[in-house]
Amino acid sequence: MYPAAFEYHAPASVKEALALLSKYRGSAKLLAGGHSLIPTMKLRLAQPKHLIDIGRLKNLSYIKESGKAILIGAGTTHWTLESSTLLKKKCPVLAEVAGQIGDVQVRNKGTLGGSLAHADPAADYPAAILALAAEFVATGPKGQRKIKADDFFVDLFTTALKGNEILTAVRIPALPPKTGTAYMKFPHPASRFAIVGVAAVLTMDGNKCKAVRVGVTGLGPKAIRLTTVEAALAGKTLDAATLKAAAEKASGQVEPTADLTGSVEYKRHLAAVFTRRALEQALARAK
Taking alpha carbons only, the member of 195, 185, 227 closest to residue 98 is 185
| pTM for the whole structure | 0.96
Instruction: Let me know: does 13 contact 56? Beta carbons within 8 Å.
Output: no
pLDDT at residue 36, rounded to an integer: 87
List of domains in the chain? 7-53 (3.30.43.10), 62-173 (3.30.465.10), 179-286 (3.30.390.50)
Q: Where are the beta strands (DSSP E) in the chain?
A: 7-9, 28-31, 50-53, 63-65, 69-73, 135-140, 143-148, 153-155, 158-159, 166-173, 179-187, 194-205, 208-217, 224-225
Taking alpha carbons only, the member of 96, 285, 102 closest to residue 199 is 96
One pLDDT digit (tens) per residue for the chain, 287 residues: 889 999 999 999 999 999 999 999 999 999 999 888 999 999 999 999 999 999 999 999 999 999 999 999 999 999 999 999 999 999 999 999 999 999 999 999 999 999 999 999 999 999 999 999 999 999 999 999 999 999 999 999 999 999 999 999 999 999 999 999 999 999 999 999 999 999 999 999 999 999 999 999 999 999 999 999 999 999 999 999 999 999 999 999 999 999 999 999 999 999 999 999 999 999 999 98
Taking alpha carbons only, the member of 224, 169, 172 closest to residue 57 is 169
Query: How many residues appear in the chain?
Result: 287
**DSSP state letter for 146:** E
Question: N- to C-terminal Cα distance for the chain?
Answer: 52
Cα 112 to chain center, whole Å? 8
- Alpha-carbon torsion, ordered 95, 99, 104, 107, to 10 deg: -50
106-121 core/surface letters (b: 16 or more CB in 10 A; e: else): bbebbbbbbbbbbbbb
In sequence order, the β-bridge partners of residue 183 are: 199
Sheet holding 166-173, edge to edge: 63-65, 69-73, 166-173, 135-140, 143-148
C-alpha–C-alpha distance, residues 181 and 171, integer Å = 17
What is the Cα gyration radius of the chain?
A: 19
pLDDT at residue 54, rounded to an integer: 97
